[in-house]
């Protein structure tokens, strides 16, 4: 446990001094901006429910872009750790390779919470009077489910970063995450929710008005995303265990 | 009793690769080995650490950390209690002369400091086996000699160097790997006995001489 905490603390420090923490948190906070700025000028926003939905959909799009960035940064970080020998430095000091992966995962999880939490709060506040048309519990659970997807995206980045070079891992993780999440913000909820699609929480978030049971669906799809995170993390640890450092 | 061994190779890089394998960082394609009485890192609690220390040419640690942070982290990962950690760090700061730059990121302080911090962190746990890859290249000869005269009668030091002449007085055995096999394993005194110096030329010549003698003995 102490080694895990030491690696997590070290990872957070590295993310802070290299401005990667600020970059990810900043981009995730920017996700709240379009909802606040553009929401009011979208045509056909006379219906309060539709207007609120459109603003939340913009938030979902920004969030998806932010998570694609986070996945790419996670991949690049682990690949760099391997290539510059710092992962090796930890391994020769009794830190299990799996702990390096989980330590970085925990650090990125903290960064995602720091970014998504305030961004969601800002989006909710920017709804103003429109907030009355949306169930706050449904919004909160769909945001938490989106966080679960973000953790899966980071785990995917850690997996690819354990396998490939820095640039290839960053591009593959970022593009793959964006390719799954961005379209999900525009797809019909019933289709994605009935199939266990990785972008389902984003479809629910982007279309809260049409979700039949948004809290239940968000909880279920968020849980699936967390399970996927765990599976990807185990896979990343296994790959790291066989990697040359 | 521990030996101080110089490891060199032709083509270059095989020696560093072997050190990486011994350190548990690179997976060997085949074969087994024993180090500090263990045949693989999993046999020791927490891997090799505590028994074996490895120092890559650039120190290998996080460049944004200050020397104090590197030593503190190394001490924490080695499992020392705060008081014991503090004592060991204080000793290392004095021995490796890190006092002036203790709180400055090593990336801003130059290669010399980074290499001294790397060795200090490697020695913090008093390892039985020390694997050094081109150690302390950035230091002047006198300071390098002072720090690399590793104390401890039972401590084995395996040092990779492409400039064997610089290791005169620091090693007592030489291992030369040529094309993937051990071409020479000899004491330094054997080089001197043949009128050869501790240099790549001398090591090659002794390896060739041994090979020629073996060939003659085989043909006879």
Write out the DSSP string of A230-242. Answer: HHHHHHHHHHHHH
**Min Cα separation A7/chain B (Å):** 10
| pLDDT bracket for residue B127 (50, 70, 90) | confident
Range in A119-128, A148-157, A192-201 with the lowest mean pLDDT: A192-201
- Whether residue B47 lies within 8 A of chain A, CB to CB, comes out as yes
Across the interface, whether the CB atoms of B27 and A2 are under 8 A apart is answered no
- For residue B197, pLDDT beyond 90: no
pLDDT of residue A119: 93
Q: Is the pLDDT of residue A154 over 90?
A: yes
Band (pLDDT 50/70/90 cuts) for residue A190 is low
Q: Is A6's Cβ below 8 Å from some Cβ in B?
A: yes
Centroid of chain to Cα B49: 15
pLDDT at A43: 54
When the pLDDT of each residue in chain B is averaged and rounded to a whole number, the result is: 86
Q: Name which of B3, B81, B44 is nearest A91 in CA terms.
A: B44
Looking at the complex, report in whole angstroms how far the Cα of residue B33 sits from the nearest Cα belonging to chain A: 17
Radius of gyration of chain A (CA): 18
Is the pLDDT higher at A146 or at A185?
A146
Tens of pLDDT, residue by residue over A100-143, are 999 999 999 999 999 999 999 988 888 777 667 778 898 999 99
As given in the structure block, the two tokens for residue A171 are 């591009």
Q: Which of B23, B29, B77, B105 to mutate to test the interface with A (most CBs of A within 10 A)?
A: B77
Neighbouring-strand partners of residue B9: B177
Give the torsion sign (CA, A83, A88, A89, A91): positive
Q: What is the mean pLDDT of chain A?
A: 87
Which tops the pLDDT comparison, B210 or B44? B210
Q: B62 vs A2: CB contact, 8 Å cut-off?
A: no
Rounded percentage of chain A residues whose pLDDT exceeds 90: 55
Look at residue A191 and tell me whether its pLDDT is greater than 60. Answer: no
Quick one: tokens of A119?
A: 């961004």
Measured over the CA atoms of residue B82, residue B83, residue B89 and residue B93, the dihedral's sign is: positive
Q: How far apart (Å, rounded) are the C-alpha atoms in residues B76 and B64?
A: 18
Q: Yes or no: say if A64 and A147 are a contact pair by the CB < 8 Å rule.
A: no
pLDDT for B46 beyond 70: no
Q: How far off is chain A from B168, nearest CA to CA, in Å?
A: 28
Contact indicator for A13, A20 with CB cutoff of 8 Å: no
- CA dist., res. A203 & res. A201, Å (int): 5
pLDDT at A45 over 60: no
pLDDT for residue A7: 94
Residue showing tokens 């479809």? A203
pLDDT of A193 > 80? The answer is no
Which sign, positive or negative, has the C-alpha torsion A149, A155, A157, A163? negative
Q: Quick one: A33 exposed, middle or buried, by C-beta within 10 A (0-12, 13-18, 19+)?
A: middle
Q: Annotate B27-89 with three-state secondary structure.
A: CCCCCCCCECCECCHHHCCCCCCCCEEEECCCCCCCCCCCHHHHHHHHHHHCCCCHHHHHHHH
For residue B203, pLDDT beyond 80: yes
For residue range B49-106, list pLDDT tens digits in order: 567 888 988 888 888 899 999 999 999 888 889 999 999 999 999 988 888 888 888 8
User: For the residues A228-244, what does the mean pLDDT come to?
Assistant: 94
pLDDT score, position A149 = 94
On the question of pLDDT at A228 being above 70, the answer is yes
CB-based contact, A91 to chain B, within 8 Å? yes
Cα(B166)–Cα(B137) distance, rounded to whole angstroms? 10
> Which pLDDT score, from 0 to 100, does residue A125 have?
85
pLDDT above 80 for A91 = yes
- Report the share of chain B in percent with pLDDT over 90: 30
DSSP state of B6: E
Predicted TM-score (pTM) of the model is 0.88
B196: pLDDT strictly greater than 80: yes
d(CA A26, CA A32): 10
Which chain B residues are Cβ-neighbours of A14 within 8 angstroms? 62, 64
| H-state helical runs in A1-135 | 2-17, 20-30, 32-37, 48-84, 86-91, 97-127
B27 shares contact with chain A (CB less than 8 Å): yes
Ranges A93-97, A185-189, B17-21: which has the least confidence? A185-189
Provide mean pLDDT across the span B135-149: 82
Strand partners, B178: B10, B181
Full DSSP string of B11-31: STTHHHHHHHHHTTSS--SS-
């Amino acid at each position: 446990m102490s080694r895990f905490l030491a690696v997590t603390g070290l990872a957070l420090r590295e993310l802070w001094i290299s401005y990667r923490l600020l970059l990810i948190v900043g981009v995730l906070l920017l996700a709240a901006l379009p909802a606040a700025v553009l929401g009011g000028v979208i045509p056909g926003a006379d219906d309060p429910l539709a207007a609120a939905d459109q603003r939340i959909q913009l938030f979902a799009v920004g969030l998806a872009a932010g998570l694609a960035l986070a996945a790419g940064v996670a991949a690049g970080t682990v690949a760099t750790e391997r290539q510059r020998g710092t992962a090796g430095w930890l391994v020769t000091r009794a830190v299990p390779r799996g702990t390096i992966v989980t330590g970085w995962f925990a650090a990125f999880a903290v960064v995602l919470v720091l970014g998504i939490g305030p961004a969601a709060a800002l989006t909710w506040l920017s709804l103003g009077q429109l907030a009355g048309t949306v169930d706050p519990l449904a919004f909160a659970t769909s945001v938490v489910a989106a966080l679960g997807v973000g953790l899966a995206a980071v785990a995917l980045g850690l997996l690819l970063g354990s396998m490939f070079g820095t640039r290839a891992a960053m591009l593959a993780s970022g593009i793959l995450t964006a390719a799954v999440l961005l379209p999900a913000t525009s797809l019909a909820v019933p289709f994605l929710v009935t199939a266990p699609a990785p972008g389902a929480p984003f479809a629910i978030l982007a279309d809260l008005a049409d979700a039949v049971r948004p809290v239940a669906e968000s909880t279920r799809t968020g849980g699936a995303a967390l399970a996927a995170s765990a599976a990807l993390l185990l896979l990343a640890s296994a790959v790291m265990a066989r990697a040359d450092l | 009793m521990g030996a101080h061994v110089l490891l060199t190779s032709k083509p270059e890089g095989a020696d560093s690769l072997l050190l990486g394998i011994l350190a548990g960082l690179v997976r060997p394609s085949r074969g087994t080995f024993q180090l500090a009485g263990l045949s693989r890192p999993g046999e020791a609690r927490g891997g090799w650490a505590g028994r074996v220390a490895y120092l890559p040419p650039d120190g290998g640690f996080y460049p944004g950390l200050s020397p104090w942070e590197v030593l503190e982290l190394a001490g924490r990962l080695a499992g020392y209690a705060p008081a014991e950690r503090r004592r060991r760090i204080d000793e290392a700061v004095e021995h490796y002369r890190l006092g002036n730059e203790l709180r400055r990121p090593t990336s801003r302080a130059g290669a010399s400091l980074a290499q001294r911090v790397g060795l200090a962190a490697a020695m913090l746990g008093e390892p039985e086996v020390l694997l050094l890859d081109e150690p302390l290249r950035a230091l002047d000869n006198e300071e390098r000699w002072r720090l690399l005269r590793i104390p401890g009668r039972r401590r084995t030091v395996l040092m990779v160097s492409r400039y064997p002449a610089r290791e005169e007085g620091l090693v007592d055995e030489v291992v030369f790997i040529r094309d993937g096999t051990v071409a020479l394993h000899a004491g330094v005194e054997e080089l001197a006995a043949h009128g050869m110096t501790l240099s790549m030329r001398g090591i090659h010549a002794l390896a060739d001489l041994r090979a020629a003698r073996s060939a003659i003995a085989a043909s006879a």
